Amino acid sequence: MADAADTLRAQQLAFAAHVRDPATHPAPADIEDRRLAIYRDLFFNGLEGLLRGTFPVIVATLGNDAWRALVRSFYAGHRCTTPLFTEIGREFVDWLQATRDDWVPELAHYEWIELALQISEATEPPHDPEGDLRAGIPVASALAWPLAYRWPVHRIGPTRIPDAPPSAPTLLLARRDPAGDVRFSELSAVAFRLLQCIDDNTDASGEALLRALAVEAQAPDLDAFLADGAAMLQRLRVDGVLLGTCP
């Protein structure tokens, strides 16, 4: 009985290895190639179609042949750890980050963020929506994510493929609005840093955060910096990025 079980397992592993990577692993003996082709196409096309829907800009920018070759490499070389279809895109992004150093991993992350925000089950933290953002402790929405990239991911496309990353990073904000739509916008370096500070903060007031930023930025006019910063806090609340202050 043990020998039969071991034989069956070996056959299953050989079959799976061939289906995943037919160029490297030969087909199991005594199975008609026409039948194997059905499984090869079924599994690969299922994965490729799932990823294609999540990463349409990469598909269009690379072109169909290069895209399918990329997915083929992922399919052959990566072992997914999740049974959830919605998490396959995250694993694809992780694999790209481990295997490539060009614009593709960051563009993939940028595209994946939209799905991640759409399905996020994060709940908003307790807050006072009328709180004074300068005097109180600002509270950020759990559905507003500041993002930093080396590459200008929001501008990459079939007619615009960068050869090298620009000198300045690309700073973006992704947020899910009350209607459930995901929106992206560009952030200034100060706004990005302010949101970083708010995310990491538990006890400092908005005023204290702005003063610390003024020192960090070596602002020549403290009063003007604080006034601009207070206006920025209010804009972020209007946009739903900040919810208010700690109650």
Question: CA–CA separation, 202 vs 192, rounded Å?
Answer: 18
Is CATH 1.10.10 what the domain over 138-245 is classified as, yes or no?
yes
- Rounded to 10 deg, the angle between the 189-200 and 206-217 helix axes is 130
Question: CA–CA separation, 178 vs 20, rounded Å?
Answer: 42
* Whether the Cβ atoms of residue 76 and residue 24 lie closer than 8 Å to each other: yes
In one-letter notation, the amino acid at residue 34 is R
Higher-confidence position of 86 and 103: 103
**From residue 56, how far is each of 29, 53, 112, 156 by CA, in Å?**
38, 6, 10, 12
Enter the pTM of the model: 0.87
Question: CA–CA separation, 132 vs 199, rounded Å?
Answer: 17
Q: What is the pLDDT, as a whole number, of residue 47?
A: 86
Each residue's pLDDT tens digit, 178-236: 999 999 999 999 999 999 999 999 999 999 999 999 999 999 999 999 999 999 999 99
Count of residues for the chain?
Answer: 247
Question: CA–CA separation, 112 vs 184, rounded Å?
Answer: 13
Each residue's pLDDT tens digit, 159-187: 999 999 999 999 999 999 999 999 999 99
Which residues touch 149 (CB under 8 Å, ≥6 apart)? 106, 109, 110, 169, 170, 172
Q: In the chain, what are the domain boundaries?
A: 2-119, 138-245
Q: What is the pLDDT of the chain when averaged over all its residues?
A: 90
Residue 128 bridge partners (DSSP):
245
